[in-house]
Amino acid sequence: MRTGRDGKRQLPLPLRLDDMGDPRDVRPDEVEILVARELRKAGVALTRLWTAARRAVPGDDDRAYVVELEGVTASVDDAQAVLVEFRNQSLAVGADAVLTLASRAAAGPPVDAPKRLQPVPDRASRPIPSDARTRPPLRVMFATSAFDAASVAEALTLGMRLLRVADGPAAFRRSQWAVGAQPPEWVPEYMAEVVDLGPTGDVRYQALMSTAKRPK
């Protein structure tokens, strides 16, 4: 609720389209921080996260790119490798992209790469546990575009997590926690939405909210 110049309380102004952020504006150097934050909200805290490769997206515009990342979960007793693919593209993600990530093997951490910002700094220097190398990795795909129904069905079959990167305030307004026209100040510029299929086979998107911070 806003207060006008006359001291009277006013209804919040609606969010205009030109106030919305475009997830396509996410730069490659911002991907690691965004991925670590959104995975932490999903309950996947990481001790290490690094970029394994970058490549273009054939058939898309010149802004499109793919960043392949790898990491290790922060669990001391049950560590697991994490393979992430971040797709900044305009075209909907198809099943072929999901199958490509499903077949991707872990390359391992870079030996001589510069030190990166880590989600859990006090554990970042620890070696990768041997059990994390032997267990099947957790695979997660982020995309700035939509997912078609075939890609979601394939991911659900493979146990892969799909997350769509959306404008933060807009995603919050679509969520079950939205109250009023304006989102809380802590809502980030971009946030992830969990992707799944509804009862009729339609693709659904639900805002990913941390259990540690509930909206008031």
Which sequence spans correspond to the domains of the chain? 15-207
Q: Which of 81, 89, 84 is nearest to 101 (CA)?
A: 84
Radius of gyration of the chain (CA): 19
Q: What pLDDT digit, counting tens, does each position of 79-93 carry?
A: 899 999 999 999 999
Cα 175 to Cα 18: distance, rounded to the nearest angstrom: 20
- The pLDDT score that the predictor gives to residue 98 is 98
Which among 12-16, 112-116, 119-123, 150-154 has the top mean pLDDT? 150-154
- The pLDDT score that the predictor gives to residue 75 is 75
Q: What pLDDT digit, counting tens, does each position of 172-187 carry?
A: 666 655 566 666 666 6
- The pLDDT score that the predictor gives to residue 14 is 45
- The pLDDT score that the predictor gives to residue 186 is 62
Residue 196 has pLDDT above 70, yes or no: yes
Q: What pLDDT digit, counting tens, does each position of 27-75 carry?
A: 999 999 999 999 998 889 998 899 999 999 989 999 999 999 999 998 7
Q: Which of 34, 23, 149, 184 is nearest to 88 (CA)?
A: 23
Cα 171 to Cα 173: distance, rounded to the nearest angstrom: 5
For residue 207, what pLDDT band results from cuts at 50, 70 and 90? confident
